[in-house]
Structure 1
Amino acid sequence: MRKVLRAVRWYVREMTGEAAYDRYVAAHATHHGDHPPLTRAQWWRARDDARERVAHESCC
């Protein structure tokens, strides 16, 4: 049963983007330890802004 719950938790975190922020923080600590990582809210805002830019660049 625990294995199933772990799999469900993993899936939900992947689908909601929570795991992506955790990966960002881990990578940031490895590569950019000289300054703190973005907060969760800042990271989501930057991610959304980047997606909007890409959408407008590739449109029509």
Structure 2
Amino acid sequence: MGARVRRALAGVRWYVRELTGEAAYDRYVAAHAGADHTPLTRAQWWRARDDAREHTAHESCC
């Protein structure tokens, strides 16, 4: 029973991280791990992501 509960909780954790976007930042950092520059901080990344979404939202209107 304990293993089933742990798997269920791991699934819930995965789902929440995907839903909130936390996993996307982790994928961004992993993709830039071998780069010769430092990746954006979490706050910078969220700001850039929100700015990009806001910018593309205006372009696709009407």
TM (norm. structure 1) is 0.92
With a CA cutoff of 8 Å and minimum separation of 6, indicate the structure with the bigger relative contact order.
Answer: 1
Q: How many residues align?
A: 58
1:2-47 per-position Cα deviation (integer Å, ceiling 9, x unaligned):
00000000000000000000000000114xx211000000000000
**1:16 matches 2:13:** no
Distance 2:33 2:52 in 1: 22
Question: Rg: which structure is higher?
Answer: 2
Specify every segment of 5 or more residues in structure 1 that has no aligned partner in the other structure, as ranges. Answer: none
Partner of 1:29, secondary structure, is coil
Specify every segment of 5 or more residues in structure 2 that has no aligned partner in the other structure, as ranges. Answer: none
Q: How large is the RMSD of aligned CA atoms in angstroms?
A: 0.7
2:6 is aligned to 2
TM (norm. structure 2) is 0.89
